[in-house]
Amino acid sequence: MAGFGLKSEYIPQLGILWPGTRTPLTPLLPPGNPQEQDQIRTVLGPAGLLDSTGTIGSPCHTAMKVLAAPSRLITADFMRPDYFHMVTRYFSKDVENTFTHIVDESGYGQGFTILTLQDLIAVCDLEDPVSNMAAVPVDLALEETEAQLLAALLDSERISARNAIAGSADPGNLSIFPAVQTPSSAAACFSTATEQPGDYVFLGLLNSGHDIGKTSSTVPGEKDFLALINNGLIRQSGNGYELSESLLFMARRTVFIDMAVTISIRYIDTTGSIHAESAQCIRADGTLLWFIRPPQAPGTILLKYVPSSRFGEILQSLFGDESYSLSGMIVPAAETKPKTRFCPQCGAEHRAEAIFCNQCGYRFT
């Protein structure tokens, strides 16, 4: 894993010294005239990117072959409470190597012509030692307004749980009642989210790169609540609605977020058309919650919820497989526990179809 120093602003400038054609995904500027090339040498030379003759040196020279003709581009921001890394990987059908550029919270950039997944995890500190196998997997396709509403409900529950914990003298023995929302209170979340974006993690991530107010200008209606009920995501509670049990725990697990991730994928297909896919992920308490905007399906949001033990596998496919799509992420089926009954005489647990208790001999009726 041998990287070299490379500021983000130098990448397009290197194109001024690089001849030849470019693909539409290239970050490089067009080749410059002699005067422009002499001028940019005064910038790139002191940065150690040129050789003694003023041309692009190694290993940057190897990277340029990929940067000039990328067929696939992945940008991933890994954000943690105290630091972040922005990783950009370029693939090219014309070159065997990939090129990876990593920038940390200080703005320091490094380029890598060879970078394994293990190296990437080490450089960006992406290891997750905890995995919550008790989390109930979710794999659903939602309409845009349904996803926006769900994000608002998740945020409301998260804020409610956070405030309850902060105000409790004994958080370990705290009982938190589910937050009950109505269409009007859910709509109010969107306007509050624009004023206090730091509190609204789910809406903020779902609308990463979008205006929350503009994206969510449509007030969620009863049909959106009904769609979430039909998908088992919320349930009716009095005159309002609350999250289902699995999503209730999902929201509360994010009171203490380990990592937030935003991913953008752009690629050129065989016809030369450019397609895009984006995703946002929250990693918390050993789980991964994904909002994915699939390519060629505007207005659809995929919700995927899996144990964080899948994180390495997902990263391996994302950065190692040129054909991988986050939309096709496989979500394991939820484990179903056999129905049981308890002996009223001794309390032993048995399968529901048992006739006798194998501990005390009690006959079930």
Residue 360 confidence class, pLDDT cut points 50, 70, 90:
confident
- Least confidently predicted of 42-46, 255-259, 273-277: 255-259
Both 99 and 224 in one domain: the answer is no
Q: Is the pLDDT of residue 216 over 60?
A: no
Both 301 and 235 in one domain: the answer is yes
Alpha-carbon gap, residue 162 to 256, rounded angstroms: 9
Examine residue 326 and state whether it is found in any structural domain, yes or no: no
Task: Please give the average per-residue pLDDT across 148-159, as a whole number.
Answer: 90
Q: Is the pLDDT of residue 246 over 80?
A: no
Percentage of residues in the chain with pLDDT exceeding 70?
90
Q: Which residue has the higher pLDDT, 178 or 128?
A: 178
- What integer pLDDT is reported at residue 325 of this predicted model? 92
Alpha-carbon gap, residue 311 to 322, rounded angstroms: 18
- Least confidently predicted of 207-211, 310-314, 322-326: 207-211
Examine residue 312 and state whether it is found in any structural domain, yes or no: no
Examine residue 317 and state whether it is found in any structural domain, yes or no: no
Alpha-carbon gap, residue 218 to 146, rounded angstroms: 11
Both 55 and 162 in one domain: the answer is no
- What integer pLDDT is reported at residue 71 of this predicted model? 94
Both 298 and 281 in one domain: the answer is yes
Q: Which residue has the higher pLDDT, 138 or 197?
A: 138
Alpha-carbon gap, residue 270 to 73, rounded angstroms: 15
> Residue 19 burial by CB count (10 A; 0-12/13-18/19+): exposed, middle or buried?
exposed
Examine residue 32 and state whether it is found in any structural domain, yes or no: yes
Q: Which residue has the higher pLDDT, 237 or 37?
A: 37
Residue 109 confidence class, pLDDT cut points 50, 70, 90:
very high
Task: Mention every residue, 6+ apart, whose C-beta is less than 8 A from residue 251.
Answer: 153, 154, 155, 157, 158, 161, 243
Examine residue 356 and state whether it is found in any structural domain, yes or no: yes
Domains of the chain: total: 3
Task: Please give the average per-residue pLDDT across 144-157, as a whole number.
Answer: 90
Each residue of 318-336: pLDDT tens digit? 998 888 999 999 887 755 5
- What integer pLDDT is reported at residue 322 of this predicted model? 87
Both 161 and 108 in one domain: the answer is no
Among residues 247, 265, 279, which one has the least CA distance to residue 149? 247
- What integer pLDDT is reported at residue 59 of this predicted model? 81
- What integer pLDDT is reported at residue 134 of this predicted model? 67
Both 159 and 79 in one domain: the answer is no
Among residues 210, 195, 80, 196, which one has the least CA distance to residue 148? 210
Alpha-carbon gap, residue 96 to 63, rounded angstroms: 11
Most trustworthy range by pLDDT among 28-42, 48-62, 103-117, 289-303: 28-42
Among residues 168, 185, 318, 188, which one has the least CA distance to residue 239? 185
Q: Is the pLDDT of residue 239 over 70?
A: yes
Both 149 and 293 in one domain: the answer is yes
Examine residue 104 and state whether it is found in any structural domain, yes or no: yes
Domain termination site, one of 124, 139, 160? 124
Q: Is the pLDDT of residue 260 over 60?
A: yes
Contact 194, 160 (CB under 8 A): no
Most trustworthy range by pLDDT among 5-9, 158-162, 166-170: 5-9
Q: Is the pLDDT of residue 355 over 90?
A: no
Among residues 212, 219, 209, 287, which one has the least CA distance to residue 253? 287
Residue 1 confidence class, pLDDT cut points 50, 70, 90:
low
Contact 144, 293 (CB under 8 A): no
Residue 338 confidence class, pLDDT cut points 50, 70, 90:
low
Both 147 and 120 in one domain: the answer is no
Domain termination site, one of 70, 98, 124? 124
- What integer pLDDT is reported at residue 182 of this predicted model? 84
Examine residue 266 and state whether it is found in any structural domain, yes or no: yes
Task: Please give the average per-residue pLDDT across 274-302, as a whole number.
Answer: 89
Q: Is the pLDDT of residue 339 over 70?
A: no
Task: Please give the average per-residue pLDDT across 216-237, as a whole number.
Answer: 81
Task: Mention every residue, 6+ apart, whose C-beta is less than 8 A from residue 365.
Answer: none
Both 101 and 134 in one domain: the answer is no
Domain termination site, one of 307, 332, 352? 307
Residue 99 confidence class, pLDDT cut points 50, 70, 90:
very high
Both 173 and 301 in one domain: the answer is yes
Mean pLDDT score of the chain: 84
- What integer pLDDT is reported at residue 215 of this predicted model? 47
Task: Please give the average per-residue pLDDT across 195-200, as a whole number.
Answer: 76
- What integer pLDDT is reported at residue 173 of this predicted model? 64
Both 66 and 134 in one domain: the answer is no
Both 160 and 179 in one domain: the answer is yes
Percentage of residues in the chain with pLDDT exceeding 90?
34
Domain housing 166: 130-307
Examine residue 251 and state whether it is found in any structural domain, yes or no: yes
Task: Please give the average per-residue pLDDT across 282-306, as a whole number.
Answer: 88
